[in-house]
Copies of this chain bind each other. A is one copy, B any other.
Amino acid sequence: MGRSDTRARIQGAATVLFRRHGYSATGLKRIAAEADAPFGSIYHFFPGGKQQLAEDMIRTSGTEYGRMVLALLDSVPDPVESLVHAFEAAADSLAAADYADACPIGTVALEVASSNEALRIATAEVFEEWVGAATRWFGRWVAEPETARSLAYSMVMTLEGAFMLSRAARDPEPLRVAGRSMATLLRAAIARADGE
């Protein structure tokens, strides 16, 4: 039976390269080389070729990344502090990775939005998954579901935009600003509910 980890190595290399350089700029030969796997093995394990490799990567690492962020948010009791802390952690880890590894699907999402329907849908479903999870998290401190959902959208969007600016400028500052903005947004939502 399948007794090797070749498949996992291919998936791992694909995840890193797609996340770092995007879909079009990543070649299968490069994935095979980086995974230290024979080229043919890619098509053995992923008969759907490059697209299947990317779709698997989007869904797998998308779900995993969402869980990671949620766990990070749960690691600090106060939600406002937690937001600042989570964005701070993202800033630190991005800088530590030399501004290469940010959101696992952001780059691909923009690339394929108007040219590859299957991959576009995969990214959309991952984003929806994130927004849903974040809505439930905000729902713990904000009563109205609509407000919680707006905050969730804002958090995902701000994170994605901050990743873009931080990577372009090679500067963690945008991510830090993003965290403080989200904190302000949550405080405003809680204050509005309290005040009326």
Contacts and interface: CB of A to CB of B under 8 A. Distances in A.
A181 B150 CA distance: 8
A154 B182 CA distance: 9
Q: What number of copies of this chain does the assembly contain?
A: 2
B168 A109 contact: yes
Contacts of A23: 25
Interface string A140-174: 00000000001001101111111111011110011
A130 B21 CA distance: 25
Most buried by B among A22, A98, A127: A22
Contacts of A123: 168
B114 A20 contact: yes
B127 A165 contact: yes
A124 interface: yes
A110 interface: yes
A188 B177 contact: no
A113 B167 contact: yes
A111 interface: yes
Contact of A113 (B99, B120, B156, B160): B99
Interface string A22-62: 11110000000000000000000000000000000000000
5 contacts: A20-B114, A98-B114, A100-B113, A123-B168, A161-B162
Interface of A: 20-25, 98-100, 106-107, 109-111, 113-115, 120, 123-124, 127-128, 150, 153-154, 156-165, 167-170, 173-174, 177-178, 180-181, 184-185, 187-188
